Amino acid sequence: MTHSTRFAGLSIRTAGTVAAVATSAVGGGGFLGGGNQAVAAPSSSGAQAARSAPALRHGIVTARTSLTGRSFPTTHSEAGPSFRRGARIDLDCKVHGPSVGGNDLWYGIPITGGGRIWVAAKYVANDGPAPDFCRPSGTVSGHARATVTVRRGPSSADAAAGRYTRGQRVGLVCFVGPTTHRWHYTDRGRWVSSTAVSGAGATRFCADA
């Protein structure tokens, strides 16, 4: 059985029991896929879409007390709701990001109405098969507009992980964030700002669909 729990305007699906607790107010559009999606209660058409979407995976929160959700898959993004130790949560897909305790994987948790909250995989034990990597668009060819720094996560505060030179091909897999603050996940498991690459318009939000 799946429940929807709202925190500061977000509806978060948690599997089994209602297990999330709000730790801070959530503002802006960072938790939504494109920044313009309204969070709405499930409808009959939405339920039909959910049935045809790839099956969600599940995980159990193993953090000592609670696990904080983030607007992007990095600790340098806005903190959202947290999930109590032992909570069973829905997991959509995963990406590489900044390492947390030696684990650089991050899981996306679906938000009703579109978008994701992200949690560090370090503190989630898979309950069954692990989620696949996010790859909703395959790989789209973009090109660096100038010399651009590649980051380990979707934030300029995340560590540098190389660079692309002007005109160099960049394999773009998906993006997080609204139009005004968007980061693209690359086929090398790293991140670049959308303003630094051309051809990014053909990519889709990081989700398993």
Asked whether the domain spanning 140-202 has the same topology as the one spanning 2-126, the reply is yes
Tell me how far the alpha carbon of residue 122 is from its chain's centroid. Answer: 15
- Is the separation of the CB atoms in 187 and 164 below 8 Å? no
- Is the separation of the CB atoms in 88 and 15 below 8 Å? yes
Average pLDDT in the chain: 81
Ranges 21-35, 46-60, 81-95, 168-182: which has the least confidence = 21-35
201 confidence band (pLDDT: 50, 70, 90): confident
Of 41, 47, 25, the closest CA to residue 111 belongs to 41
**Domain 2-126 bears CATH identifier 3.40.50.800:** no
- Confidence at residue 54, expressed as pLDDT on a 0 to 100 scale: 62
Q: What is the pLDDT of residues 113-166, one digit of tens each?
A: 778 999 999 999 999 999 999 998 789 999 999 999 999 999 999 999 999 999
Domain boundaries, the chain: 2-126, 140-202
Tell me how far the alpha carbon of residue 29 is from its chain's centroid. Answer: 13
- Retrieve residue 55's tokens: 């099956």
Which CATH number does the domain 140-202 belong to among 2.60.98.20, 3.40.50.300, 2.30.30.40, 2.170.120.40?
Answer: 2.30.30.40
Q: What is the pLDDT of residues 19-54, one digit of tens each?
A: 444 333 333 345 555 433 322 223 333 434 433 456
What's the pTM? 0.79
18 confidence band (pLDDT: 50, 70, 90): very low
